[in-house]
Amino acid sequence: MSEHIEKNNDILVDVRHLKQYFNINVGWLMTKPLKAVDDVSFSIRRGETLGLVGESGCGKTTVGRSILHLYQPTAGEVIFNGRPIRNKADIRELRKKATMVFQDPYSSLNPRMTVSDIIGEPLDVHKAYKSKAERMERILELMDQVGLNSEHASRYAHEFSGGQRQRIGIARALALKPEFIVCDEPVSALDVSIQAQVINMFVELQEKMDLTYLFIAHDILVVRHISDRIAVMYLGKMVELADAGEIYDQPLHPYTRSLMSAVPQPDPIVAKANKRIVLSGDIPSPLNAPSGCPFRTRCPNAAPCCAESMPEFKEVKPGHFVACHRVNEL
C-alpha cells in the first residue's frame, strides 16, 4: 500500500505497518502480548475525513492514540507532513499540529479547572501567547467558534451538559490551530438530538479551518455522514478501505457486509428486502487470536486457506483495499 501512498504528494498522515502490543500478565512472572493493533497501514489526505469503524475492542482508539504517540508504537512508522515521527522533538512538533477530541466529555476535562484554563492549557504548554490579554482573547475566540458564550469562561466543567462539555473539548483541541484531529467516538456519549449538532459543527470547522480528521466511531451512519473514505477494522487488523459511498453500497469483505446489513433502512420496502447477515460466535480474544485471517472463525465463507495465512491487504479496485483470500470468488 505504501507504493500507492508515495505517488500522492497530498498526504498529511501516512501510517505504515503500525503495531501496538501490550504485555498482559497471564500467570506467575509470565506475560503475553495483546496485539491491539497488528500491522495496519493507511494514509489520510489533506482536508479529508477518514472514518474508522469496527466493533468495540477492535483497536480503533489504539490506532488514533498511537498515531499521536500517546502510546509509543511497538513497531511501524507514522509520517506526518512528510516527516517521520521518531524522537521526543518530533513528538513535540507533532502535538502542535495534531490533537485529539476524546470520547467521554465527562472524564476528559479536569473538574478543578475553569473552562478558560481547560481551553488555554495547550496555549500554556506550548507558550503560544505573548500576554495574558492575548491568551484570553484567543480563548474567547475559540469559545465563539464552538458555540459557547463568553460568560461561561469562568465556570467549571461539571456545570455543563454533555454536549457543551464536548464543545469545550473541541475548543481545547483547536487551541493551537492544528492541521489534524483524531476524533475518538466524539458523539457516542451524547444524546442523539445533540449528536447531529456536534457532527455538523465538525463539518463546518473543517471547511473553515482546512482540517483533516481521523473520525473513529462504531456507528456506520454517523461515519458515512462525515467521512470521505471509510476504513474497517477487526481484531487489530484493517480488513477494508474505500470511498464512503462505495463501502456503503458495495462492501467486499464478509465482515463489512455484515456491518452494513445491520444499518437501519428508513424505507420499509428496502428494509424488508435487506437480508441481515448475522455472525455466529463471539469475537475471539486478541490474546488468543485465530491463525491466518482473524475473521475466519465467524466468517460464513471461510475456507482452509483462511487458517493458513493472513490475507494481504491489497487494492482490488482503484482506491478499494481488502484483506480477504476469497474476495475474487465472492
Same domain, 166 and 287: no
Same domain, 175 and 305: no
Report the pLDDT value the prediction gives residue 135, as an integer from 0 to 100. 95
Mean pLDDT by groups of 10 residues along the chain of 330 residues: 48 96 89 92 96 92 96 95 94 94 88 94 93 95 94 92 93 96 92 89 95 93 92 95 93 92 71 71 83 90 90 93 89
For residue 94, being part of any structural domain is answered with yes
For residue 243, being part of any structural domain is answered with no
Domain end, chosen from 176, 192, 227, is at 227
For residue 235, being part of any structural domain is answered with no
Cα–Cα distance list, 187 to 30, 60, 236 (Å) = 39, 15, 23
For residue 8, being part of any structural domain is answered with yes
Rounded to two decimals, the pTM is 0.90
Q: Strand ranges (DSSP E) for the chain? A: 11-27, 30-45, 49-53, 75-80, 83-84, 98-101, 180-184, 212-216, 229-234, 237-243, 314-317, 320-322
How big is the CA angle at 77 (ends 73 and 82), to the nearest 5 degrees? 135
Same domain, 268 and 219: no
For residue 285, being part of any structural domain is answered with yes
Q: Show the domain range for 207.
A: 2-227
Rounded to whole angstroms, the Cα distance separating 202 from 308 reads 43
Place of cell 492575548: 134
Domain end, chosen from 193, 210, 227, is at 227
- Of 322, 320, 296, nearest to 309 (Cα)? 296
Same domain, 221 and 262: no
Q: Which amino acid is at 253?
A: H
Q: What is the number of domains present in the chain?
A: 2
| CATH number for position 194 | 3.40.50.300
Same domain, 207 and 292: no
**What does the pLDDT look like over 94-141, one tens digit per residue?**
999 999 999 888 888 999 999 999 999 999 999 999 999 999 999 999
Report the pLDDT value the prediction gives residue 246, as an integer from 0 to 100. 94
Same domain, 324 and 194: no
Report the pLDDT value the prediction gives residue 260, as an integer from 0 to 100. 87
DSSP 188-209: TTS-HHHHHHHHHHHHHHHHHH
Q: How many Å separate Cα 201 from the centre of its chain?
A: 17
For residue 234, being part of any structural domain is answered with no
Residue 217 sits at φ, ψ, to 5 deg, of -160, 165
Same domain, 48 and 83: yes
Same domain, 199 and 273: no
Please say whether the dihedral angle defined by the alpha carbons of residues 252, 256, 262 and 265, taken in this order, is positive or negative: negative
Report the pLDDT value the prediction gives residue 256, as an integer from 0 to 100. 93
For residue 248, being part of any structural domain is answered with no
Q: How many Å separate Cα 94 from the centre of its chain?
A: 17
Q: Which amino acid is at 20?
A: Q
Same domain, 83 and 209: yes
Same domain, 106 and 143: yes
CB-CB neighbours of 191 under 10 Å: 11
Same domain, 221 and 266: no
Q: Which amino acid is at 54?
A: G
For residue 317, being part of any structural domain is answered with yes
